Amino acid sequence: MPETVRGPVAELGATLMHEHVFGLSPEILWNWPDLPEDWDLERRAREAAGKLDALKAEGVDTIVDLTVVGLGRYVPAVQRVSELTEVNIVAATGLYTYDALPPYFGNRGPGSLFGGPDRLAEFFVRDLTEGIGRTGVKAAMLKCASDHLGMTKGCERVFRAVAEAHLETGAPITTHSHSASKGGLEQQDLLESLGVDLTRVVIGHAGDSTDVAYLEELVARGSYLGMDRFGIETISPFEDRVAIVAEMCARGHAGRMVLGHDSYCFNDRFDADVVRRRHPRYHLLHVSRDVLPELRRRGVTDDQIHQMLVGNPRRIFA
């Protein structure tokens, strides 16, 4: 059964595969706790639970929280949210960087200043099998990233560790990819060379692209496409995002796409008022209220929508 923050569940139901509950900056919170965007766990947890309850009312049962090290993961806060909402929250492990590793890992391991063993895979496996920190919450998905810089040495170390943890535990993998440079192909090449079955991989942010040939190539190698940034229209506008999903469905690929927003319930790294003004549809309800009706208008069937929201997540976590 899939693991969630509350423990294993029999069914995930309708699932958004790329979201975040909290994105935090611990050193800022430790040193300047009186900033306007102050962090009060109970207040923020209740706000987040309210947003998830609204999502539940729209028919979504589960979110996959892809906040890992590098994005301000703090699982005790997510546990409190989970106590306050019926929505399932699936936790992830991994490390988020486009280039260099955080010094804790960058100064350890092969090729580093001080050498020694690479402990990344060890940490990831522990999160998956024993729990994150002292919370007892087991992660259920692995995450790695590369962006416009390509597969830097730091990124490659994370990908190798993620592959090792995947092979040891069977946990599925999701990536952050840079669609403009067709970065998902480079990710597939490396993961496949490390023994990863690409049918267990979601190429995240594939929906940023309108290049059908690129997306067809990713699908042909077996991976899922993360159509998961609905609401971030500065990268790709609403019209393009729904059009590419509809086109890929028409080509028979509903069984290889998952949906999401890449949104946060609370993120101290951005000014919330500015985000609301510039990205008014960047919120958890956009897929349910705007995207799905538009997909239906474009000929996407309810069976295909069910496949993307329910069937594919079920298979990914099987």
> Residues annotated in the binding site for Zn(2+), as ranges?
18, 20, 143, 176, 205, 262
Binding residue positions: 18, 20, 143, 176, 205, 262
Contact 16, 62 (CB under 8 A): yes
Task: Dig out the tokens for 130 from the structure.
Answer: 């024993």
How far is it, in rounded angstroms, from Cα 39 to Cα 53? 21
Q: Give one DSSP letter per residue of 188-249, joined into a string.
A: HHHHHHTT--GGGEEEETGGG---HHHHHHHHHTTPEEEE--TT-TTTS-HHHHHHHHHHHH
Q: Which long-range contacts (CB under 8 A, 24 or more apart) does 38-41 make?
A: 39/268, 41/76, 41/77, 41/80
How far is it, in rounded angstroms, from Cα 163 to Cα 262? 23
Give the CA angle between residues 109, 114, 118 to the nearest 5°: 10
How far is it, in rounded angstroms, from Cα 202 to Cα 222? 9
